[in-house]
Structures are given as C-alpha cells and as structure tokens.
Amino acid sequence: MKGLVWFRQDLRIHDNPALFAALSHCDEVVAIYAITPKTWASHDHAPIKLKFWHDNLYHLQQALANHGIRLSIVKTDYFSELADKFAAMCQSEKIDALYFNEQYEYEEQRRDKDVSAKLKEMQIQIHTFHDQVIIPPGQILNSQGEPFKVFTAFKRQWLKQICAQQDWQLKSINQFTKRAITPDNMPADFGQTLPTASNLFPPGEAAALSKLHQFCKQAIFVYHQQRDFPASFGTSMLSPYLAAGVLSVKNCIVEILKVLNSHNLADIYAHEGPFTWLNELIWREFYKHIVYLYPQVCRHRPFLEKTKNIAWENQPTWLNSWKAGKTGFPIVDAAMRQLNETGWMHNRLRMISAMFLSKILLIDWRLGEKYFSEKLIDGDLAANNGGWQWCASTGTDAVPYFRIFNPITQSERFDPDGNFIRQYCPELSHLDNKIIHDPHGRQAKIIEAVYPKPIVDYKIRRTIALSVFKNLR
C-alpha cells in the first residue's frame, strides 16, 4: 500500500498525526506540499510569513529525506485547481491513500472536500486527523448541545476533558526510518519575491523545539508577571512556529509537564506562570473552534450580527497614520513600527493598537485585521480574527463596548520606563520616563516635525465611540 501525506500548516515530522499514521499503515510513503500564490494573495498572507513557510518547508524536506521520504512541491494558482492536480499525481504515483491534518477555515475546508471527493472517485482512501487542536471542534458543548460562545465556559469544559486524558505520548517516526534519499530541489520562492528572513524566528523544527525548551526551562515560571511588558522578553515567541505547525500544541503541553516532572495536567494549576501560558494555548484553540463552527467569521462578517450596523467613520488619513505609526500616541506608534519592521507584535500591543483603531478612530476592525494579516509572520486567521473582534466588541466573548483602552495609561502601566517606546520611536528617546508617554499633553519641548501631534483627542473620541455603540440597533 502506498500513501501520500499532504503537508499544509504542519511543517514538521515530530508529533505529526497524519505522517505517523501513513508510516504505520503503508509500505511506501511519499509527501506533497502545494503552493497556491493567488489564493494566498487573496487571503492577505504576509510576505514575511510566506518566507517563513518557505524556509521551514526546506527544513521539512531535508528531514523527510533523511527518513527516506520524498517531498514533492506542486504549484497552482488557486485552491480550486488542486483536486485535478492531486488526481493526476495520485494516478501517476499509484497512490492508495491520502493522509492530512485538518485545517478549520472555511475555504480550506471547501478545498479539502473537493480534493477528497475527487480522489474517492478514484477509490483512494482519505484519512484526516486533528492536529492544530487538542480537542476537535464540536466536541466541547454546553448542556443544550451547543458550542460555547464564552471563553471561560469553554476553558472550564476543555480542562475537564483534557484532565481525563492520560496519554501524553508524542508520536515519533524514528521507528520507521529508512535509507536516506537526496531531496528534490526546493523552489527559490513561492511565485513572488520574498523578503529577507526574520532574525527573530530561525526556521526549522529543531529551532522551534529549542525555543520551546528554553522558554519552559525558566521564563515560563514568571510568564504571568512579565508577559504584558513589551520591553521585556516575557513571552514565548513561539507563535510563528505554532501558526505554521512547525511546533504542535501537544508538544507545548508535554514540555510544560516535563519541567514540572509530572504526567498530570492538573498539576499545572498550582504553577501560575505555566497555567497562564496554558490559558493562552486554550484561547488559541477556542478561536480554532469558532472559525469552524461559525464560518461566517471567515467571510468578513462579525460574530455578533447586530454589530454589522456600527457606523464606522473610516477616515483614510487616520488609517494611514495608524499603519505608519504616526498617530501621535507613542505606545500605538511604537507598536505599529514594531509590526512594520519585524513582522511581529507583542500581544498586549496588539490589543492596544486594535482597540485604538476600532474604538478611538472608529475604523472598521476588518481594515485592521487585513493590515495585520498582510504584515504578521505569525498570521493566523482564527487568532487574528478572534483578537480583532474581541477588541472591537463585535465577536464572541468580546470585551464590553464601554471598555476602551486609554493608550496613555496603558503605556504608563506596561512600559513604565518608556524603554519600548524609545526602541521604536527614537525621536522621543531623550524624554524622561513620564513625559515620553504623552509628550504633547505634558508640554514637552517637542518639534512637531520630529514627532506628530495626536491625530485625535482621546477623551472626545471615547465619548463618540460610547455613543455609537450604546445607540446601536
């Protein structure tokens, strides 16, 4: 029996359910990865993310070759062309079964159904697996048999189910190792010019596992204290690896248990740092469930139907100032410049900048979601959409409309010494730790040509936003 493994957002050999199953059931295994540049462009995938995928794909191809598995790269413009492409390959390679790990977004689901239907007509078996989540969508339901729409209730049920799970064994393919082969040539790009690789996130599964190990060895124990401060290195910096599937969520949980010398997930509860990070992994899973169970959020619609009538102002000059990091609010500008320069943004800053755009400027959250997607190396539709809708009070479990972050007080609280602002707004670096958060409001001697005045009055805009949301019908 000959199996074909279809790699997508699971660019690793370690703890890969589809790959492990194929090697377990088949005498011969080959692999495939599909490049679809025009569909990717329609999905606003950031060039730096495509570069990260490309470089990780190279490492994956080498790792598979070391295990005697050939990875072929095929290219079509659109998802819709893949069914015929796969059918032709399966016929030429005499494939008996296709193995792949699920993706939960609307168009990815439709793509997979088309490919599966085409291959079933050829009597090819289809085997799918849940890899991006610990518990598959649809298996965490309330007493009425409906999906949870509030994170806290979802988390409670998730933990209840997970704590009953005793098997945390990671799947290794070492037992299936065959004679190494020479890999095919890797395409130089993905059908477009790709930028320079990010120094923050070296590619490859080994790099991802090393980062995970180092984080869980020490930083995770103060994660709850440090994670909201962008000037410190208090976060895991693993989001690109999770988004591309270079690292599995299960592996993250196993690593936590390892440093706690435990096999019981309940033991994590007693350690605030590890439990806080686990909480972030559960948020990630919650949003995966949402995009699958409520596919309208994948199609530019708010989760809360009534919020489709919000009177967004959508001032283009304000939007452009926000994108460029020239709003006159230092913490927002520093955040946006970090995004533009590195392709990554600290999570606390994502909330501050997203709420500033959607609530203070009253610019449609979808424009911000799109811009983040176009820039983020860790761009993931579920997390990006969920975060933006949370900030804009249009989504599931969304922040109440009257909760609006004040960028100045957020700055004073989470960048108290102004170190992060100084890093990305060097024109403010000479200011003291108080003035730097609100340079114009504190009558600092700032030349407007060096740093812009605030584009809006926060207090006035907050009042307007409250009125817009309160009177929503």
Q: Do 281 and 252 touch, CB atoms closer than 8 A?
A: yes
CA distance 179 to 14: 18
Active-site choice (66, 279, 340, 347): 347
Amino acid in position 307: T
Which tokens go with 290? 């949402």
Amino acid in position 471: N
What letters, b where the CB count within 10 A reaches 16 and e where it falls short, cover 225-258?
eebbbbbbebbbbbbbbbbbbbbbbbbbbbbbbe
CA distance 67 to 173: 9
Give the SS3 label for residue 459.
Answer: helix
Taking only Cα atoms into account, the Rg of the chain, rounded to an integer number of angstroms, comes to 23
Q: Is 312 marked active-site?
A: yes
Active-site choice (28, 272, 312, 412): 312
Is 126 exposed, middle or buried (CB count within 10 Å of its CB: 0-12, 13-18, 19+)?
A: middle
* Cβ atoms within 10 Å, residue 95: 23
Active-site choice (283, 318, 344, 390): 283
Active-site choice (365, 369, 385, 390): 365
Q: Is 388 marked active-site?
A: yes
Q: Is 427 marked active-site?
A: no
CA distance 394 to 278: 25
CA distance 405 to 409: 8
Handedness of CA 370, 130, 201, 214 (dihedral sign): positive
| Long-range pairs, 315-318, Cβ under 8 A, ≥24 | 315/361, 315/363, 317/455, 318/361, 318/363, 318/455, 318/456
Amino acid in position 268: I
Q: Is 40 marked active-site?
A: no
Per DSSP, 258 falls in state H
Q: Is 168 marked active-site?
A: no
Q: Is 283 marked active-site?
A: yes
Residues linked to residue 128 through DSSP beta bridges, in sequence order: 100
What CA–CA distances, in Å, run from 171 to 20, 255, 437? 7, 14, 49
Q: Do 248 and 285 touch, CB atoms closer than 8 A?
A: no
Which tokens go with 26? 């088949």
Residue 128: phi and psi, rounded to 5, are -120, 155
Give the SS3 label for residue 325.
Answer: coil
Residues linked to residue 28 through DSSP beta bridges, in sequence order: 2
Active-site choice (6, 158, 322, 388): 388
Q: Do 61 and 184 touch, CB atoms closer than 8 A?
A: yes
Active-site choice (28, 93, 272, 280): 280
Catalytic residues: 280, 283, 312, 347, 365, 388
